[in-house]
Structure 1
C-alpha cells in the first residue's frame, strides 16, 4: 500500500512540476533556491495536513532555527537576535519567493560567533576553577535570555565549562583516593592532589572542545542549509524530514536492516541527545544499561577523551556515535533519574533474530498460560511469504495451544510498529472477521482494512501489554482488540500516539531536467490511522483498560513530547460488532484495578516515577564541590532504595516451548538468551497481573469452550 501511494504521489507531483520548474532559472545560490522551491511545493501538495505559510509559520521557523543553532545560548548575543528579528514575520514571504537572505545573515553571524567562542573558552580554561565557591548554574536554557554583552557571554561560558568539568574533576579525585588506599605502590604513586585533579579536568575539557570545534570546522555551508530546510519541514509535523543525498543513502541502508551503530534512535535536546527508541536486537538493547529517556551528553572513542555534544547538531552527534562494527564508543549519559554514568558499547549490527516473535509457557497453580513477545511488526518487503510477524505469531499461538495454554498474553511493550499488512492479519487471528483499522489520505475518503477470514486461531482469554513506547502498528492492534472488547489492555496511561504514515519521495523524480546532481529526498506524512470506533490513534494513543504506573508515568514521552505533532481527531466509525465471548468484561477490568491498587510493588513503582519526575524538573545545579557530592550521595541512596524494584519475585514459572528445548542441545547461546529473558519475566509485575486477568477471564467468562480451527 505504501509503495503504491508513493508512486501515485510522485506521478501527480511530476505531472505538475514538469511545467512548474522547466521554465525557471536560478542565477544565484541556485541549488539552495531550487531545493527550497521544490520542498515547499511538495509539502503544500503532498502533505496530509498542509500548513498555511503565514506570519505565524514565519515566527515558528525563526524561533526554532535559532534554537537549533544555539540551544544553550552560548554563541549569539542579544544584539544579534535583535538584528535577526527584522525577518521574524518575513520568512513566509522569503520561503514563497525562494529568498534566503535570512539564512545567509544567520549563518555568517554564527560562523563569526563560533570563532569568538574559540577565544572565550580558551580564556576561561586558562584559569583554575574554584569549587569551594557557592554558586549555581541554571540548565533551563529554554527560558534563559541571550547574553547582552561579551562579558556576560564569557561568564555564561565560565559557568557552563565549570559545570562540564566538575564531573571530570570528581572522577579524577575519586580514582585518586582509591589509588591512595591501594596496597599497590605503583597505583598509590599516581594519586592526585585536588589542584592536580582540577588542572587535569580543565585540560580534558579543553581537549574535548578543541575536538568539537575541529569537527564543526569541517562542516560546509550546505550542511547548515540542510538544518534550515529541516526547520521549515519540521513545522509541518515531527515525522516529515528532508534527507540530503548522503543522509538518503543512510536511510535506505537503515530501512534494509543492514546498519551498524548502537541501535538507538535519538532526539535533539538542549542538554544532549535523548534516547527515544531502542532498536530490538541492537547493542543498546542487548546491553540493557541504557533506556529510553536517558540523555547522551558526551561521546568518546574507545577510552579517548570524550567530546561534549551539548549544543551540537543532532546529525553531527550521531556521526560521532556511529562507527564501524566492532569498535567501542564511550557514552557519558545523564540517566532518567539524573545520575551521570559512562557506558561503553561495542558497535554492532542489529541481530535480526532478536527482533522476531518469541514465546514462553507460564505456569501458575498448575495452570498453563502463554506469552508472546513481539518487538516489532516485521516483514520481508521483497518476499512477504518468506517471513513476517503475523505468520510467526500464528505459529507461536498454535504451539502454545498444543502445550495446553489456557490464556494468552501478547506483549507489545516497546514495540515501535512496522508493517500495516501484518497488523491486519495478526488481529484476524483473534476475531471472526471485520474491520481492523481505517486509513485516511489527504483530500480523500477513508479506506477500511478488514480481516475477511472467518476462522479464528485463538478465541480464549487474551491480554495485550503496552507502554508509552508501543507505537504505530502496536497501537492499531491494541486499539482493535479494545474496540472489539476482545482483549484487556494493560499498561501505561496511554501509548506513544503515532497515528501517521510516511512515504519517501526522491526529489530527482520531480524535476525533469536537473543540473545540480542528487537533490536528496523528503520523508512526507501522507496518511493518518483511525480506530474502528472512529477515533485517531494520533497524539492520544490507546488508553489502557487497566492503567499501571512505570518509570515514565510523569515525564514527557512519545508524540506529545514532539514540538509540532498533528492533532487528534475522529471520523465516522466502521461497521463492527463487539466480541461476544466474555460474560463480564467490565468486572474483569474492575477486579484488576483493585488488585493493582493494593500491590506494594506498584506503589513503589509509582514512588519511583514521581522521584524521577522531580529529578528531571531540577534545573538549578550547584557548582560547589561539597554540595555536589552531598547531592550525589543523596541521589545514590534514593537510587539504591529503588533497586528493590528489580528484586521482585512474582513466583511465576517460565519455560521455553518444546521446539526450543530441542534447539538448546545445539545452541547454548539461545538457551542463555531465553534463561535471561525468563528471569526478567519472573520479576515483571505487569506480566503477573496479566496472568491474574487471564484467570479471571477463564472462570466462567467464555461462552465458547472449544478453541476454533487454526487459520492458514
Structure 2
C-alpha cells in the first residue's frame, strides 16, 4: 500500500507528519545548497540512516525484504494493470536483488526494471488507444470495478488483464462524463493522459528512479515513514513557511488514488461543507470554467500543485465517495485561510432530566458539553488550546455543573505537550503518557501541576476519528478510571512518533517512526487505539477507519505500567468502577435500541460493509441523472446532518447519548 500525506492549507504544499511528532524543520542549507544529484553511491547511507532510527526495524531481514518487494512492485504498477500474476512472481527475485545491490551502492538493476515498466506502459497505451478508437464504444453501465487494487489480485491471464483495462477505461471515462465532459472529448482526454504517463515514465532519470525505490523502502517500514527527495523536501519546507491558505485538507496517496485523510476544521473545505474524509479525488479543475484534469494514478505532488492556489480563487474537485452506494460529486471550494475560531474549544450547558430514583423527587441536572475539536496552538500561535480549555473549565466550575462531557470525537490530534497538560487538568499530578524508543526504557511524561481544573464526574466522547493526542488524553483518563470513555468501538490507533532527519545538502530527508506512545497502564495506543467503555453505533465503525486497516501498521506493544499514585493522592476525584461501567453500558444499550437515529446509523454501516470496495458504473451515471432531476434540491446525508449540528454548537446524536450516560453516572455512580 502506497501512502503519503499532504496538508493543503497553504498556498503551496505543507507536509504533515502524524500529530504528536517532533517539530519538523528542513535546514536552509539542505534547500539552497543543491549539489550533485542523488546517486547510487549515497543510497546505502540513506538506508542505514533510516534503519538506525526506526522503532521496529534495524536490519534488512527476510520480513522487511518481503515488505520492500511488495511496496516497490505496487508503486511500479499501482492499478495492477501492467503485470500478470506470473510476471509479478518473476519480477520479485529481481527486486530482491535490487534491495541487495542498492545496499552495496550498485543500481543498474533499477534501470533495467524501469526500462521494462516503460515498455509495458507503451503496450498498455496502445491497448487503450485501440479500445478508445472503436467508434461503437459506449459506456457499459453494467460494469463493476473493485476500486482498491489491494482488494484484487494481479490478472492471471492476458485476457483477464485486457478485461481489467477495459473496466478501468470505462470507469475513467465515466468519471469525466459525470464531470460534464462529452464522451467523445473524454476519449481524447483519456488517450492523451495515457500518452503523458508513458512519456513521464520514459523521462525519469536515475535520480527519480532511485528516489522511487528509497521511498518504497521507507514506506515498507510503516505507513508513516517516508523518503523526501530534494525536490519534495523543498516543496515541504516552502509550504511550512507560508500562511495557512488553501482548501484545508490533509491528503494522502493510496494505490493511485488521492485520498482525503482529514478535512481541517475551520478550513475552506470545512466551511464549504461537502468534502468528506475518505473521499477519493479523481479530477481537478480550476473553477468555475476550467477543464477537469483526471488525477487517478498521478503523483501526489502533481495533484497538490493542481489544487493549491491563491486565496479567493476557486478549485473544483471531482470526488468518488463510497458508502451505502458509490457516487461522484463535483465540489467547488474557494481557497482561503483557516479560521482558527472554528478549531477553538467551546462549551454548552444542558439541562438533562435526572434518571428516576425510587423515593427521590424528579430533578434537572446541569451538564456541560465541552467540544475540543483539535489540540491547536504552538510556539508561534497566539491562541493555545490549553489556555482556552482552562478558561472554559473555570467557567464550568462557576456554573456548578453536575458533570462534564469532553468531546474529542472530531479531534485528530495535535501537540504532545498539550495532550499532557490537558490530561493533567482532570488529575492531581503524575504520568499521562510514556514514550519509548527502540531499545530504550519508557520515558513517562508527567503533569507536574497538582491543581485540578475539574474534579467532578466525566465522560469522554471519542470516535475512530479521534487520533494521537486525543488517544493520549482518553487513554490516561481511562487507565486512571477518572472518566467513562464513550463512542465508537475504539479510537483511530495512531500511537507512534515521527522525526524528520535531514540528509546531506542536496540529498533530501527521511521521515522515520522513532518511538511509540504508551498509556499509564502499559498498553500502547498504536494500532488498536483506546477501547470505549460504552460503545455506540456509528457510520465510521468500518474496517477502513483506523490504523489497523493498513497491513504495514506497526503492531501494538505493551510495557509494565507506570501509573502514578499521585494522580488522585487526596482521594477526592471520582473513580469509575467496573460495575458502574457495566451498568452504564446496559442502560445506554436500552436507549440506543429505541433510537430511530442510531438505528439508521447501524443500517447505513451494514450497507457500507456489503458494498465495500466495489463501484458499479451505473451508480456513477445515475448520480448525473439524479443531479439533473434534483437540481435545486439539497439532500443531506446522516453524517452531514450530524456535522452541521456540531458546527452550530448543537449536540450530535452521540453527544446527546453521552450526556444521558453522564446523567446516569451522576445519579447512580
Q: TM-score range by the shorter chain?
A: 0.7 to 0.9
1:165 and 2:165 matched? no
The alpha carbon displacement at 1:532 in A equals 0.4
Is the contact between residue 300 and residue 329 of structure 1 (CA under 8 Å) also seen in structure 2? yes
1:581 and 2:589 matched? no
The equivalent of 1:499 in structure 2 is 495
The alpha carbon displacement at 1:606 in A equals 0.8
Determine which of 417, 420, 437 is the counterpart of 2:413: 417
Q: CA separation of 1:368/1:632 partners in 2, compared to 1, >3 Å: closer, same or farther?
A: farther
If asked which structure has higher relative contact order (CA below 8 Å, sep 6+), I would say 2
The equivalent of 2:105 in structure 1 is 98
State how far apart, in whole Å, the 2-side matches of 1:356 and 1:676 are.
Answer: 16
1:234 and 2:241 matched? no
The alpha carbon displacement at 1:134 in A equals 7.9
The alpha carbon displacement at 1:474 in A equals 0.6
Alignment of 1:49-448 (within 5 A): 49-76=56-83, 81=88, 84-131=91-138, 136-139=143-146, 141-142=149-150, 143-146=152-155, 156-169=164-177, 198-206=183-191, 221-253=206-238, 255=240, 258-270=243-255, 272-302=257-287, 303-337=289-323, 338-364=326-352, 367-382=365-380, 387-448=383-444
State how far apart, in whole Å, the 1-side matches of 2:576 and 2:40 are.
Answer: 64
The equivalent of 2:552 in structure 1 is 564
Which one is further off, 120-129 or 480-489? 120-129
Q: CA separation of 1:261/1:114 partners in 2, compared to 1, >3 Å: closer, same or farther?
A: farther
Alignment of 1:497-646 (within 5 A): 497-508=493-504, 517-577=505-565, 580-582=573-575, 585-586=580-581, 587-618=583-614, 621=616, 629=622, 645=638
Q: CA separation of 1:133/1:301 partners in 2, compared to 1, >3 Å: closer, same or farther?
A: closer
Which one is further off, 76-85 or 269-278? 76-85
Is the contact between residue 147 and residue 153 of structure 1 (CA under 8 Å) also seen in structure 2? yes
State how far apart, in whole Å, the 1-side matches of 2:489 and 2:179 are.
Answer: 39
The equivalent of 2:665 in structure 1 is 697
The equivalent of 1:14 in structure 2 is none
Is the contact between residue 245 and residue 518 of structure 1 (CA under 8 Å) also seen in structure 2? yes
Q: CA separation of 1:44/1:582 partners in 2, compared to 1, >3 Å: closer, same or farther?
A: closer
Q: CA separation of 1:688/1:568 partners in 2, compared to 1, >3 Å: closer, same or farther?
A: same
State how far apart, in whole Å, the 1-side matches of 2:234 and 2:620 are.
Answer: 49
Is the contact between residue 314 and residue 335 of structure 2 (CA under 8 Å) also seen in structure 1? yes
The alpha carbon displacement at 1:404 in A equals 4.3
State how far apart, in whole Å, the 1-side matches of 2:516 and 2:249 are.
Answer: 25
Is the contact between residue 461 and residue 486 of structure 2 (CA under 8 Å) also seen in structure 1? yes
Q: CA separation of 1:169/1:109 partners in 2, compared to 1, >3 Å: closer, same or farther?
A: same
State how far apart, in whole Å, the 1-side matches of 2:421 and 2:490 are.
Answer: 24
Q: CA separation of 1:350/1:274 partners in 2, compared to 1, >3 Å: closer, same or farther?
A: same
The alpha carbon displacement at 1:468 in A equals 0.8
The equivalent of 1:486 in structure 2 is 482
State how far apart, in whole Å, the 2-side matches of 1:99 and 1:73 are.
Answer: 28
Q: Over aligned residue pairs, what C-alpha RMSD do you find? A: 3.7
Greater C-alpha Rg: 1
Alignment partner of 1:235: what SS?
Answer: helix
The C-alpha deviation readout for 1:551-608, integer Å capped at 9, x for no partner, is 1212312211223111111101014358652576323344233322332221210111
State how far apart, in whole Å, the 2-side matches of 1:79 and 1:454 are.
Answer: 65
State how far apart, in whole Å, the 2-side matches of 1:418 and 1:160 are.
Answer: 39
The alpha carbon displacement at 1:168 in A equals 4.3
The alpha carbon displacement at 1:276 in A equals 1.7
Is the contact between residue 520 and residue 561 of structure 2 (CA under 8 Å) also seen in structure 1? yes
State how far apart, in whole Å, the 2-side matches of 1:467 and 1:588 are.
Answer: 18
The alpha carbon displacement at 1:614 in A equals 1.8
State how far apart, in whole Å, the 2-side matches of 1:474 and 1:258 are.
Answer: 26
Which one is further off, 585-594 or 567-576? 585-594
Which one is further off, 213-222 or 462-471? 213-222
State how far apart, in whole Å, the 1-side matches of 2:161 and 2:545 are.
Answer: 33
The alpha carbon displacement at 1:155 in A equals 5.4
TM-score, length-scaled by structure 1? 0.77
Q: CA separation of 1:644/1:164 partners in 2, compared to 1, >3 Å: closer, same or farther?
A: closer
* Greater share of helix: 1
State how far apart, in whole Å, the 2-side matches of 1:444 and 1:171 are.
Answer: 54
The alpha carbon displacement at 1:208 in A equals 5.4
Q: CA separation of 1:343/1:518 partners in 2, compared to 1, >3 Å: closer, same or farther?
A: same
The alpha carbon displacement at 1:6 in A equals 7.7
Alignment partner of 1:339: what SS?
Answer: strand
Alignment partner of 2:38: what SS?
Answer: helix
State how far apart, in whole Å, the 2-side matches of 1:606 and 1:410 are.
Answer: 24
Determine which of 655, 659, 665 is the counterpart of 1:687: 655
1:454 and 2:450 matched? yes
The alpha carbon displacement at 1:216 in A equals 6.5
The alpha carbon displacement at 1:341 in A equals 1.0
State how far apart, in whole Å, the 2-side matches of 1:480 and 1:449 are.
Answer: 11
State how far apart, in whole Å, the 2-side matches of 1:120 and 1:260 are.
Answer: 42
The C-alpha deviation readout for 1:498-557, integer Å capped at 9, x for no partner, is 11111111112xxxxxxxx42211112121110000011110110011111221212312
The equivalent of 2:361 in structure 1 is none
Is the contact between residue 367 and residue 404 of structure 2 (CA under 8 Å) also seen in structure 1? yes
The alpha carbon displacement at 1:53 in A equals 0.8
The alpha carbon displacement at 1:477 in A equals 0.2
The C-alpha deviation readout for 1:470-492, integer Å capped at 9, x for no partner, is 11111010011111111111111
Alignment partner of 1:522: what SS?
Answer: strand
Is the contact between residue 347 and residue 371 of structure 2 (CA under 8 Å) also seen in structure 1? yes
State how far apart, in whole Å, the 2-side matches of 1:286 and 1:200 are.
Answer: 33
The C-alpha deviation readout for 1:286-323, integer Å capped at 9, x for no partner, is 22212112111222222333222222233333332223
The equivalent of 2:3 in structure 1 is none
State how far apart, in whole Å, the 2-side matches of 1:37 and 1:145 are.
Answer: 31
Q: CA separation of 1:467/1:170 partners in 2, compared to 1, >3 Å: closer, same or farther?
A: closer
State how far apart, in whole Å, the 1-side matches of 2:516 and 2:620 are.
Answer: 51
- Residue ranges of structure 2 left out of the alignment (5+ in a row): 1-17, 27-35, 354-363
Alignment partner of 1:501: what SS?
Answer: strand
State how far apart, in whole Å, the 1-side matches of 2:221 and 2:620 are.
Answer: 45
Alignment of 1:24-35 (within 5 A): 31-35=38-42
The alpha carbon displacement at 1:30 in A equals 7.6
Count of matched residue pairs: 613
State how far apart, in whole Å, the 2-side matches of 1:59 and 1:613 are.
Answer: 30
State how far apart, in whole Å, the 1-side matches of 2:121 and 2:277 are.
Answer: 32
Alignment partner of 1:448: what SS?
Answer: strand
